[in-house]
Amino acid sequence: MKCKHYLFFLFVLYLVLPGCAQDIRVHDPVAIREGDRYYLFCRGHGISVFSSPDLKNWNREKPVFETAPSWTKEVVPGFKNHIWAPDISFHNGKYYLYYSVSAFGKNTSAIGVATNVTLNPDDEDFEWKDHGIVVQSVPGRDMWNAIDPNLVLDETGTPWLAFGSFWGGMKLVKLAKDLVSIAGPEEWHTIAKRERDPFTADADPGNAAIEAPFVFRKNGWYYLFVSFDFCCQGENSTYKVVAGRSEKVSGPYLDKTGKPMTKGGGSLVIEGNDRWAGAGHNSIYTFDGKDFLIFHAYDNDDGGKPKLKIMEVRWKDGWPEVDKDKL
């Protein structure tokens, strides 16, 4: 009997330990697989990291940065190593981790990048090397916000960085072959924005509530996913994911009705409900022949805390769909 009680105790402990359930507390999640393990990166102190054998049971790993990169306090005075919206990908034998440093509600921001040859913290070659700023936005100079990065390679292998939040919308800039700097001569595009009232102050971005671009190639199309409306307000969050598509990485991206995403277009993919508020800031990947939408939503049954959500994507008439009843 003692043995049975002990086993039952271990089972209950497994259920309640943080990081073991799919709805772990995360914000701005992105994922990648190395070998037989998945790695999840998300907003947090030094960039939060989780690992999993199955996309369901998660273990917390050490953060990417124990202390903030030295350059960050020059961009955001008093920066305390709370890093937003990472993006992870593998190219040229290395993992590239882009990340956001910003002052909340301002375009006082920069996107940095770090590289590693492995994601396994037990590997003797495991070491994150920071390369500093890729792109920076400055109040009064730039009408865009350098956060929420996403790396995409076009059909020729040319690297581009999509990014942006509020202000002048989602931007796309060509990167150099090293993937850590902007290519010259510079090439920039606006790929999505909301129709909005003008703004004049750094702290007042108007009603241009759009952010978190993620570009996904599928069947000859580039799909641009963005989040409309507001995150970070717990049960009152209004985030939703919309998408458009283009035959070129630089756009124009159109929604199902043909409306350009540069004029507020975007076809709904997922939004919150009575249980889950503000479903948004998504990434999308193909694992074992299936496409998965990875995002966070705010749990109304747990004080509006942001939790991890993973949903399989179906494609109907060339457009992404998820089973909204399973949110």
d(CA 323, CA 107): 35
**C-alpha to C-alpha distance for 275 and 318, rounded to whole angstroms:** 29
One of 28, 87, 130, 271 is an active-site residue; which one? 28
DSSP letter assigned to residue 16: H
Do the beta carbons of residue 98 and residue 30 sit within 8 Å? no
CB atoms within 10 A of CB 130: 18
Of the residues 87, 130, 148, 211, which is catalytic? 211
Residue 28 annotated among the catalytic residues of the structure: yes
Answer yes or no: 211 catalytic: yes
Q: In what order do the strands lie in the sheet with 210-218?
A: 210-218, 221-228, 240-246, 267-271
Q: Provide the phi-psi class of 169: left if phi over 0, else alpha when psi is between -120 and 50, else beta.
A: left
What secondary structure does DSSP assign to 53-108, as a single string?
A: SSSSS-EEE--S-SS--TTHHHHSTT--SEEEEEEEEEETTEEEEEEEEE-TTSS-
H or E element, residue 44 = strand 44-45
The residues annotated with a catalytic role in the active site are 28, 211
